[in-house]
Every structure is written in C-alpha cells, then in structure tokens.
Amino acid sequence: MPLACLGGSVATGNQPIFFQTALEALKGQVPAEEAAIWLDDLHFVEVEGERVRFSTASHFKKERISRQYLPRLSQLLEEASGQKWRVEILVNSATPPAAPNSPIVNSRPPEPAPQTAGLPAAFHPQNTFDRYVPHANNRLAFECARKICSHLGSISPLYLYGCAGTGKTHLIQAIGRHFLEHHPYLKVRYVRVDQFVTEFIDAIRNRTDRLFRLQYRSLDVFLLDDVQLLSGKTETALEFFHLFNEIYQPGKQLVFTSDVPPGELGGLDERLKSRLASGLIAELEPPAAPARRALLDFYLKEADFDLSEETREFLANRLPPDCRRVIAAVRKLTILRDIHGETIDHAYCQKHLGDCLNPSGGELTPDRLLVSVANYSRHSLGDLKSARRDRGLSQYRQLAMYLLRHHGKVGVNEIARLLGGKSPSAVVQACQAVEQRLKEDPLLRKTAETILQGVG
C-alpha cells in the first residue's frame, strides 16, 4: 500500500516531502528548456516497500527519463531520505506505445502538414526574387539561391549569413515562395528557429512528437531562419541535428540563415556545426554606397517617386548600409510627400530623415569609424589595428569591433582582419561583451555616441 510518511518525513497528502524535494532538485539541475520538455509533467504516484513510482505523459518521455534522468533522481532520493529506492517510471495514459512503423503515437487527430501550416502568413508578400536587388556584396548568395530553384538539391545545405539588414530573410523566403508557386507538389516549410522551438516543445507536451518528426522528415524543402537562436537550446538543437540527418539526402533542399558563420555559433554541438558547414556558405555583406544607390533607385521607381540626381546621391552616401533602413527611408519620404506636397531635396531629407541617416555628414565607412575611435581614445590608428593587448587599448579595440559590426555593418571576418588579426570567434565574443556593457554603463553609451558623431 502507498505510505503516507516514511523515515520520519513530513507528509503532504500522500506524498512525503523528500519525493517532491528530490524532483524539484532534479529540475533545478538541468537547463530550463530541458526541464520544461521532459520533467514538467513528471509526478509522484506512490511508494510500495522499497519501490517509488513516478508517472509521465507518454512512452516516449518514459524512455527518455529512464535513460537520462533516472540515475540522478535515484541519487537525489537517497540523499533526501537516507535510504536507497528502486525508482519506476509509469505512463499515466491508457494509450499503448506506438508500433515501430506506426505513423502516430496516440489517437489525436492528425494536424495539418507543415507545408500548409501558417502559410502564406509565414511569407512576407514582398519577399520575392523580383524585388531582391543583387549587388557586389550579396551576388554569390543570390546566384546560389537562383540555382537551387532551378536544380533542387544542387547546393544543399545552403548556409546564408550576414549581419542584420543584409537581406537574408528576404532571400530565404524568396526561395520558399518560388517552390510553392512553381512546384506546388513539393512539401515546403519555412520557419524561424523560435517557432521551431515552440513547435517542438508543444509536440512533446501534447504527445505528438512522432507526428512532428514525421512531418519534418517528409519535407522536400526545409528553410530555417535565424539558426543562431538555437544557441543554448540543447534539447531542440539535438532534435534539429537528428532531423537534419534525416532530411539531408539527394534531391532534398536545406537552406539556413544566421548572423554568423557555422563555426562561430556558440553553444552548439560540434557535429551540428559540421553539418551546417557541409554545403555552401555564402556571406551577405552590407551594401556599400553604389549598392545603396541601386536599392534606392529600385524602391523609388517602385513607389513612382522621382528625386533629383543630387538628392539621390546625398541619400546613397548618408543612408546606413542596411537594406531595411533604405526601404524605410523611401516609405517615409513617400508619406511626407503626400502630406506636405513640398519639393524634396537633400535639405528636406536632412531635416525629415534624421533618424534614418548616419549621424554625420560622411559615410560610416570602416576607416572613418576607426579614425574616430583612435582620435577619441588618443591611441594611434596603427596601435588600434595592432595585436597589442594593453588594457585600455584592448577596451577601445573591442568597442571598435562592436561599432563596426552594429553601426558599420561590417562582417566578422573583415573586422578580424582589420583589428589585430583576431579570430572571427573573438570578434563575436567582444561584440557580445560590449553589447552587455552598453546596457549597464551610461558612460560607455555616451562614449559610443560621441565616437559615432565624430565620423566625418
């Protein structure tokens, strides 16, 4: 019979406190995401002799808990109660385990297949190849995207990376839309990593995990946006690794986007990094002034908006190297034109587009930004670019890395080359450290603003 109290423990209902203590301790020793997936619905059932029984929601969870968490749970129970226990995991459902080749794990009705769930809402209507402006800094990625649309699986996986505003999401969605519109018989799925994580956790909680896997493994085209968001999500990254191996076969297409190259993805298993790097890697770099001019001309024409040559050149030189900011500037000018009805010249743009333009009269080029850092820090430009590791110099070098990355839109490989021959991973770590310090240190924020204002 179940015991209400053992070894002098104080009981809570039929559950001695040390059972709950051990279970909570186990949850506290694993990452929050992992605990939410596997342990949230693990509950004490009863004690009989030296046996203690817990229950969980599915046979799949039972197998995982028994394999991965049972030894530690047994140890925690012994520490809490002072005696050894034989721990058993039960399934609190009458549903029998699925047969090896069964397409479902329970009697829940099938959910929509991935290629129909969330589409077309998942795709921005303007993210098409017709509206993508290729230029010198994104041409390789663009050509690769076009090639896989005409030769499915010819470049798989295709890994696109670059900082924000370089057109990664536009390009990966253009690929998906092409296949949906021209090859409707293919199973296509575009998803952001945060959505993928949510789907995976829901599948485990709702006991539809087998269906989740079958749906993804049946895909012909799998497009995953913002892979860097997998960092730190151990369980989801492991599931993604297994799905990758299932989908990675001739005739199927995998496309990924990220802020950094595969080797610089922090907190991911080396095997997964290797898989991501096993195809073709294409960097999308921020658009230089000529490319910004091409973007500006394209979107002005699309908006039926005429500007003088002088004003176009002004905007091309003053807009930041960010595709989104160029589009935002054109939209804002279109609205202002309709409201004010005034002639729009570079003086008008200077007045009304202040939040869209660089904070100085000159283009925010790497050289100008580094000169501004050197002038402010009273270090020579040569010292800033050297490998010297003086404390004060190193701090300004890290700040320069951050400003180049987030304001100059310079790629990590180029930053590494410019500043002391650092590795790309060191650049990523420096940028992350400075970003955190900027949140906490108002003096550092003021320093960064002053440096940016000094670019000219």
The pLDDT of residue 1 is above 60: no
Residues 159 and 264 in one domain: yes
Mean pLDDT of the 263-273 span: 83
Mean pLDDT of the 364-379 span: 83
Residue 421 or 441, more confident: 441
pLDDT in tens, 3-17: 333 333 333 444 456
Residues 167 and 236 in one domain: yes
The pLDDT of residue 451 is above 90: no
pLDDT the model gives residue 231: 79
From 348, 411, 332, select the one nearest 140 (Cα to Cα): 411
| 138/212 Cα distance (integer angstroms) | 34
Residues whose CB falls within 8 Å of the CB of residue 438, separated by 6 or more in sequence, listed in order: 402, 444, 445, 448
Residues 145 and 277 in one domain: yes
Residue 223 pLDDT level (bands cut at 50, 70, 90): very high
Residues 145 and 267 in one domain: yes
The pLDDT of residue 445 is above 60: yes
Q: Is residue 34 part of a domain?
A: yes
Cα pseudo-dihedral 243, 247, 248, 253, rounded to 10: -130
Residue 23 pLDDT level (bands cut at 50, 70, 90): confident
Residues 173 and 143 in one domain: yes
- The structural domain count of the chain equals 4
Q: Domain end: 91, 111, 145, which one?
A: 91
Q: Is residue 115 part of a domain?
A: no
pLDDT the model gives residue 323: 86
Mean pLDDT of the 87-110 span: 50
Residue 33 or 21, more confident: 21
Residue 224 or 100, more confident: 224
Residue 33 pLDDT level (bands cut at 50, 70, 90): low
pLDDT the model gives residue 141: 95
pLDDT in tens, 107-128: 333 344 444 344 456 788 889 9
pLDDT the model gives residue 379: 83
Q: Domain end: 45, 72, 91, which one?
A: 91
Q: Is residue 402 part of a domain?
A: yes
What is the CATH number for 318?
1.10.8.60
Q: Is residue 3 part of a domain?
A: no
The pLDDT of residue 421 is above 90: no
Q: Is residue 98 part of a domain?
A: no
| 277/272 Cα distance (integer angstroms) | 9
Residues 143 and 191 in one domain: yes
Mean pLDDT of the 396-402 span: 91
Pairing of β 253-258 and β 158-161: parallel
Distances in whole angstroms, Cα of residue 87 to Cα of each of 60, 78, 126, 223, 290: 18, 11, 56, 42, 68
What is the CATH number for 225?
3.40.50.300
pLDDT the model gives residue 118: 41
Mean pLDDT of the 24-50 span: 79
Domain holding 373, by residue range, is: 366-453
What is the CATH number for 44?
3.30.300.180
The pLDDT of residue 251 is above 80: no
Residues whose CB falls within 8 Å of the CB of residue 72, separated by 6 or more in sequence, listed in order: 26, 29
Residues 176 and 263 in one domain: yes
- The model's pTM is 0.63
Q: Domain end: 310, 329, 352, which one?
A: 352
Q: Is residue 241 part of a domain?
A: yes
Q: Is residue 152 part of a domain?
A: yes
Residues 238 and 301 in one domain: no
Q: Is residue 377 part of a domain?
A: yes
User: How confident is the prediction for the chain on average, in pLDDT?
Assistant: 80
Residues 138 and 233 in one domain: yes
Residues 345 and 395 in one domain: no
From 26, 4, 19, select the one nearest 80 (Cα to Cα): 19
The pLDDT of residue 262 is above 60: yes
What is the CATH number for 407?
1.10.1750.10
Residues 165 and 44 in one domain: no
For 11: left if phi > 0, alpha if psi spans -120 to 50, otherwise beta; the answer is: beta
pLDDT in tens, 124-150: 888 999 999 999 889 999 999 999 998
Residues 335 and 371 in one domain: no
The pLDDT of residue 98 is above 80: no
From 137, 83, 64, 394, select the one nearest 283 (Cα to Cα): 137
Q: What are all long-range contacts of 246-252, with beta carbons under 8 Å and residues at least 24 apart?
A: 246/213, 246/216, 246/217, 247/216, 247/217, 247/219, 247/222, 248/156, 248/157, 248/275, 248/278, 250/153, 251/152, 251/153, 251/220, 252/152, 252/153, 252/156, 252/219, 252/220, 252/221, 252/222
